[in-house]
Amino acid sequence: MTKILLWAVGLVVAVLAGTYWWAGKDLKAMDAAARAEAPGEFLQVTDGQLHYQARGPEDGNVIVMVHGFSTPAFIFEQNATALVEAGFRVVQYDHFGRGWSDRPDGPYDEDFYDRELMDVLDGLGLVEPVGLVGLSMGGPIVMAFAGRHPERVSRVFLLVPAGLDVEGDSGVAAALVKLPVVGDWIWHVFGRGILLGDPQYDESALGPDNRLQGDVTQQMDYRGYAKALLSTLRNFPMSNREILFSSVAQKTETPVMAVFGDEDQTVAIASAAELVALIPGAQVRIIEGGTHGLNYQRHDEVNPMLVEWFSPAVAD
């Protein structure tokens, strides 16, 4: 019986190890050859090579756009184009682990993302306060940054921000992937399918102008993407971050605006009321029928809000 049990355990281990190897066998390195295909430029910062694009007049007011969990900076393409056309200097960058940026090891926690954003500002010589746009996970990132470094931020615009009431953040599936070893195997083998199963990526009913302006799967072909996302899930909570929002209201005078969608299946619409309670002076808009991809799917409605919020007349 003991021998049979040992054989069974050994077989299970072998199967798990084999599937883990198979899932990663074709992944490529994010190296100089890969980066040569990327648009834009790179900054050598604390944690590696960071990919970014800066567009618009050099003397324009600067807006830095901070994307969310899994889709890189091209998720802002429609918004950034509108801001550039309105005369702003717009900076988009790929978080480490995503897009064309390096995939460093280590915990992807609040300090990590704070350092990343500060390195972008310092690396580009942006010493004057800038406008920040935070999308989904980018919401708590920019709110944490604004609370820590209010002297570097002029105003904040949040698009479907995570940090408050996020669907599934405390569910069984989320708990499983956060487990050591077991979670690593699940995410490495099934993570790509889990991500691409997000209804947001079904663009069959959308016109070309309202779709993502890039291939979300391309970044998945490079080693370290899944590992970076898993580290983020384990070290950067997506909900119950009320203190990040209240601290900006209590300790700074940074103006905040937020846009939510009432059909968002990721960030619950209840987050809108929570944000108002935490930041009484915040401006909040709700787009009827808006989903988690409203920044590009409904850009005709979102872009005028962005341009007006950052316009000199409003900012002054």
Q: Is 49 in contact with 41 (CB distance < 8 Å)?
A: no
Q: pLDDT tens digits, residue range 95-115? A: 999 999 999 999 999 999 999
Average of pLDDT values for 145-152? Answer: 98
Sign of CA dihedral 108, 265, 274, 62: positive
CB 148 within 8 A of CB 121: no
Nearest 5°: phi and psi at 35?
A: -65, -20
Distance of alpha carbon 147 from alpha carbon 144, whole angstroms:
5
Q: Is the pLDDT at 232 greater than 60, yes or no?
A: yes
C-alpha dihedral sign at 306, 310, 311, 316: positive
Whole-number mean pLDDT of the chain?
Answer: 94
Q: Give pTM, 2 decimals.
A: 0.95
How far, rounded to the nearest angstrom, does the alpha carbon of residue 123 sit from its chain's CA centroid?
Answer: 20
- DSSP label at 61? P
DSSP 3-25: HHHHHHHHHHHHHHHHHHHHHHT
* Chain segment 275-296, per-residue pLDDT in tens: 999 999 999 999 999 999 999 9
Residues 32-52 pLDDT 10s: 999 998 999 999 999 999 999
